[in-house]
């Protein structure tokens, strides 16, 4: 069966009508706008529901030069110049008080020469609002997590120059790192003589965390204070031994009460030694 020229023309016209229907449905219902500029930058087409958000009517800028219109918008003008030079781009810029996500597509004629530019622009207000709301929620979650961490590892001044850090649950590397910074700052601010790390409520430690505990004791000593570990559970002790950690230089006692008594005895002895007459 032979296809005549008339049938081919009818098929092309049908396809063109279908394309126009699709384009009109998009322009009339989605928050976008489309524009076509000739090679000089003059608007030859301007349509789309997105124009409503800036109080503009379809076709309002026909005959206007877009390069002159955005001459005072440095970034937007530069992207337009690049587009007319043949470089496609995608950007999110504020214009007319509205954030726009824009795709610029260079147009070429049948000979392949540049023949202007097509701009497809989406009103990104809703997207930006959602991003802002998501960031606000993430910031809130982060603050809540910090509060929880601070509450789960409070630094308490239980006696003059004696700080206690009761730790609870599973102590991971991130948490112990934050705790170390907070504890060392508190030792300096309180001029503490002793810092008790109470592990009674600690269920488990990982390899890196166990090493951090030893490093924390060393850091405490560098500040002129003494670190004491209390309440190590049997499973935590087994982990430390299995890791081959050297606790020979670390003072450890069975519980917090014993740790406090030890601090009080040592402080009393230091006071007596300081008060004794020099012979």
Give residue-wise pLDDT tens across range 48-107: 988 887 888 999 999 999 988 888 877 778 888 899 999 998 888 777 777 888 899 999
- What phi-psi label fits residue 121: left (phi over 0), alpha (psi between -120 and 50 degrees) or beta? beta
Instruction: Quote the distance between the C-alpha of residue 69 and its chain's center.
Output: 36
Identify the pLDDT of residue 117: 93
Q: Do the Cβ atoms of 162 and 183 come closer than 8 Å?
A: no
As a dihedral over the C-alpha atoms of residue 106, residue 112, residue 114, residue 119, rounded to 10 degrees, the angle is -20
| pLDDT classification of 1: cutoffs 50, 70, 90 | very low
How does DSSP classify residue 195? Answer: E
Structure tokens at 225: 């204070």
Mean pLDDT of 186-213: 86
CA nearest neighbour of 214 among 182, 175, 180: 180
Q: Please state the φ and ψ torsions of residue 114, each to the nearest 5 degrees.
A: -60, 130
Distance CA 26, CA 124 (A): 16
Structure tokens at 254: 């069975």
H-type alpha helices, 61-108: 66-69, 74-84
| pTM of the shown model | 0.49
Q: Do the Cβ atoms of 251 and 229 come closer than 8 Å?
A: yes
Alpha-carbon separation of residue 62 from 4, 24, 34, 47, 57 (angstroms) = 39, 18, 12, 10, 11
């Amino acid at each position: 069966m032979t296809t005549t020229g008339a049938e081919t023309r009818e098929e092309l016209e049908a396809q063109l009508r279908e394309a126009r229907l699709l384009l009109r449905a998009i322009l009339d219902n989605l928050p976008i706008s489309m524009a076509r500029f000739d090679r000089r930058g003059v608007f030859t087409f301007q349509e789309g529901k997105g124009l409503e958000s800036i109080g503009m009517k379809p076709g309002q800028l026909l005959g206007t030069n877009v390069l002159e219109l955005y001459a005072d918008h440095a970034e937007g003008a530069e992207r337009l110049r690049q587009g007319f030079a043949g470089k496609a781009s995608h950007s999110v810029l504020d214009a007319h008080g509205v954030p726009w996500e824009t795709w610029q597509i260079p147009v070429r004629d049948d000979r392949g020469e540049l023949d202007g530019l097509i701009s497809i622009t989406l009103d990104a207000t809703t997207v930006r609002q959602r991003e802002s709301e998501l960031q606000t929620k993430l910031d809130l979650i982060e603050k809540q997590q910090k509060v929880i961490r601070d509450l789960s590892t409070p630094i308490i001044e239980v006696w003059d120059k004696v700080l206690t850090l009761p730790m609870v649950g599973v102590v991971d590397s991130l948490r112990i790192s934050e705790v170390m910074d907070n504890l060392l700052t508190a030792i300096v601010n309180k001029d503490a003589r002793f810092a008790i790390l109470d592990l009674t409520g600690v269920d488990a430690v990982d390899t890196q965390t166990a090493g951090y505990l030893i490093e924390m004791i060393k850091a405490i000593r560098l500040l002129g204070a003494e670190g004491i570990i209390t309440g190590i559970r049997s499973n935590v002790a087994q982990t430390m031994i299995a890791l081959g950690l050297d606790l020979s230089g670390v003072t450890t006692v069975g519980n917090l009460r014993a740790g406090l008594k030890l601090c009080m005895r040592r402080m009393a002895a230091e006071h007596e030694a300081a008060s004794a007459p020099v012979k």
